[in-house]
Every structure is written in C-alpha cells, then in structure tokens.
Structure 1
Amino acid sequence: MAGGLVALLDDIAALTRLAAASADDVGAAAGRASAKAAGVIVDDAAVTPRYVQGLAPERELSVVARIAKGSLRNKLLFILPALLLLSQFLPWVLTPLLMLGGAYLCFEGAEKIWEKVAGHEKQEVPMSAMGSEREDQVVSGAVRTDFILSAEIMVISLNEVAAETFWSRAVILAVVALGITVLVYGVVALIVKTDDVGLALAERSSTVAQKVGRFLVRAMPKVLWLLTVVGVAAMLWVGGHILLVGMDELGVPWIYDAVHHLEEAVAGAIGVAEGLWTWLTNTAVSALLGLAVGAVVVAALHLLPRRRAAH
C-alpha cells in the first residue's frame, strides 16, 4: 500500500513537472511571438490614449476598459479562429499574409513621417468635444481600429509558432492575445491617469509631492511623443524585416543574402560586440527597406491620385 502511494506521488510529481515545463514552453513561445509584434504594440499604446483626451476623469478608465474588452473579443473570437484554420488547412497563405501585414506596417510608419513632414498630421477629436452621447460611437471606432492592429499582432505572433501543433498554437496565441491586451491597455490606463495623479500631488502641501506632481504633468506630453516616435521606428523595422525574411522564404533570397553579408562585414570590421553590431545592421537595413516600401505605398495611395485629379 505504501509502495503504491509512493508510486502515485511519483506520478503526480512527474505530471506536475511536465505541466510546469509545458507552461514554461508556452510562456517562452508567447514571449517570443509577442516580441516580434513590438512595433504594433507600441503604436497601439501610443494611439489609444488620444481617444479619451478631454474626457471627464471619472470616465477615462471605464472607456479604456470597454476598448480593452473589445480588443480581447477581436483577438479571441474572430482573429484567432480564422488564423488557426488558415494555419491548419492553408499554411502556405501565412507568409504572403504576413508580408501583407508587414507592408501595411511600412505604410503606416511612412505615412506618419509624411504627415509630419508635410504638416498634415491627423488630429483626433477629443471625446469631450463630441458630447457624452457619442461615447459609444467613439468606443466602437476605437475597437474597429484596434481590429487592424490586433490582426497584425496575431499574424506576426502566429508566424513565430507555426511549427507547433494545432492546440499548442491555439493556447500560445490565446496567451499572447490576453497578455498583449492586458499590457497595452494597462499601459494606456497608466498613461491617461498619470496627469490626474500629477495634479493631485501638485495640490499637496509637501514640497516634494508638488515637484513630483508638476514633473508628471509636464512629462506626459513628452512621453506620448516618445511613444509615437518609437512606434514609427519599430513599425518600419518590423515591417521591413518581415518583408526581408518573407522574400527569402518565397524564393527571392538575394536581398536577404546581401544583408547577411553586410552584417558579417560590419561585425568583422568593428571586431567587438559582434552580435550587437549584427543586430544593429539588420535593424537599420530593415528599417530603410520598410521606409522605402512604405514611401512607395504612400505615393501610390496619396500622391498619384492627386496628380490625376489635377490634370
């Protein structure tokens, strides 16, 4: 009896270790998949706070929570099942689909640069200017915009775990969907409430609290600007890298090979921290490729129609 109990405990311990290892594998795969979607994640975190500009402070977190629920619904109920079916029955579609998402990222990044240079930046209308009755419409609009960003995140993430089994892909992508949604909208909630925290601290009697409060209020516009800049750079880099790798997988390897040779040349010439210089070279070339592709798409969608209209 004792021997049977010991054997049972051993089996339970083995199952526990197996479950823990599986959880670690899922966590590692989810982290790896999420890292490749960094550009879209940062852009998502930078864009969403603008939807609640001017909203009454007591409504901000409620609106962010509603957008977050819509985002999670997008990922789990619509995007995840569609991608799993494609990966199972039409896996050859994933690389072109991923490259299409990469091209869209390049377009988004290049368009933001064009708008800045040309002085045509889009100004989101603060919700307070629309009236409280428009809150539902604004939330719906934010969720629709999130659908595009969420689809890009999930496609990029799926590409990183395409070799896993069907159910492993399902679990990993579900973890990615939940984790990224919590991360993005947790950061968004923190950003939109930082001003209120700063104002509250600035009104305290403590000199230190007042200084910290004023610092937070002054810093937030710069933080949002930095998020936007990093988001644009990341979109160009990630989008360009997706196109670079995708072309190699589709049988057009010469650009990828040229970049690889350039990485080796740069790392060999400098001679120290070769891994860092290899990564920096690849990142720089990917960003330049992303900017070039994005500029072509921007020109095709914006400049050429205007020329035809002028004639």
Structure 2
Amino acid sequence: MSTTFQLDTSTSRANPTPAPMKRLTVPEVRQRKVDGTTQMPIVMLTAYTARQAQLLDAHCDLLLVGDSLGQVIYGLASSVPVTLDMMIAHGAAVVRGSYHAAVIVDMPFGTYEASPEIAFASAARIMKETGCAGVKLEGGEAMAATVAFLIRRGIPVMGHVGLTPQAVNVLGGYNARGRSDAEAETILADARALDTAGAFAVVIEGVVEPIAIAITQAIACPAIGIGASAQCDGQVLVTDDMLGMFDRVPRFVKVYENIAETIGSAAARYAQDVRQRTFPGIEQTYQPRKI
C-alpha cells in the first residue's frame, strides 16, 4: 500500500495518509485498448486543485492538469500565457489530492517546441516537482520525434491533435477541425505519427465525428475524445465546464450540474445575513467559559 498526501476535509490540511488502492499507471491505461478495442472506456477530467482532485479521483482513470487553467483559474484570454511554474504548482496540488487516478500535466506553450532537449528539460522538471505520471503536449507529425525522444528517456507522453488550443493564433479560433479532406488527412496523419512515436494515448479535440472515429480505429493507443465521438476509447472534459461554472460552454460539453447558480445563491444568502447582522450567530462565536 502506497502513501500519498491527502487533504483532510476536517482541517483543510494535507497530511500523509495510506492510499486505499494502488494508483493507476500509464501502462495500465495503455493496455485498456486491445486489438483496436477498449471494452471499458477511459474517464478523464481536468483538475487544478487538491480539493477538486480529491472529489474527482474515485471516478476517474486520468486527471488532467490542463493548461486550460489559464482561462478557468487565472482569467486569461487563452492558454498561451500559461507558464511552467503555473503548471507545476497546480500539478503538485492535484497529485497531493489524489490516490487512484494517473495524473497527467500539460506542457505549456513554448516549453517543448524548440527541440527535444528543451522538451526533456521541461518535462523532467514537471515529473520531478509534481510526482505526476506523464505529460501531454500538442502537435502531430511535427512533434513525433520529440515524443519518441521523451519516451526513450522515461517520460510517458499523451498526444493531442485536431483543435490544439495553444495554436489558436495560427488556427484563427476554436472552430471544429477536419471539415476539408486535406485537413482531415493531416489530422489522421498526426495521430498516426504520435501513435508510432509511442504516445500512450492521444486526445482528439474538436474534430468532425467521422474523423474522430477513423483515428480511433487507425491507432493502436487509446483515443480520448473531447468534441469528437462517443466511439472514442475515452472522454475528457474541462470539469468547470461540465459543472456549469461558466455562462457559455462549447457545444460538445454536457452540463451535469449548475454549480455557478449554487455558489451565487449561497453568496447572496451570506451577504444578506451579514447586512442584517444575523451572522455570526451564537453557534459561530466563542463565548466565555462558565465557571
């Protein structure tokens, strides 16, 4: 039985506690797909904090510390300004808050594209400082050599093709990809290149469904969809999107709960109690001890 750092909900402190189960490994995730078929689809959600990880962990195979935290946590216009330090800080928190799911950390823009050596330095720092199980990077054929370089040096890599948010300035927006035959062939070739390079899984984002299905059938490693197809080997969503934390979400998101409304309602009731001086009450204040 391994030991990890769990967030004690009674004290809000991270304490070493025995993990009740062995953490899922990257090879186990890869082995979910046998002869082109994944019997048990892979469940992945994003997580950015220890408490969020703790709540999601038991239900997920993979927790992704996505560079989407730029928009979700920091209010940035895109993921491009996200730094390595930001990813490491949140990655370490998610590892501390989980014990079951394999934690994967996004490599932010500008930390891996220039050369395999630069990518290794960035990925090694992420692995060492967070304790995560692997990294994710965007790009297809152009990044295949880098993916192989990292894997040969002990760093598991998840690929990402189709709509690649770090390339938003080149793509011109977040529209679905693969509508033309030429673009569809490029995306398929990208996924195959990453698979051949040794990626343990490939995220397919924002592509027309027939392309997602074709990629899933064409590659040996699991294909994880987001805005792709239910026929992919697994699915990932930004947790805050599926919890209804934002007014607008991509069309491929199913909103499972309206947490924003719950938070807003609670804050309104709190504000009313404060202004009416009904909070804090006797239960929330310290009274003199009776002698």
* TM surpasses 0.5: no
Query: Structure 2 length as normaliser, TM-score?
Result: 0.26
Query: Structure 1 length as normaliser, TM-score?
Result: 0.25
Which one has a larger percent helix, Structure 1 or Structure 2?
1
The structure, 1 or 2, with the larger RCO (C-alpha pairs under 8 Å, 6+ apart) is 1
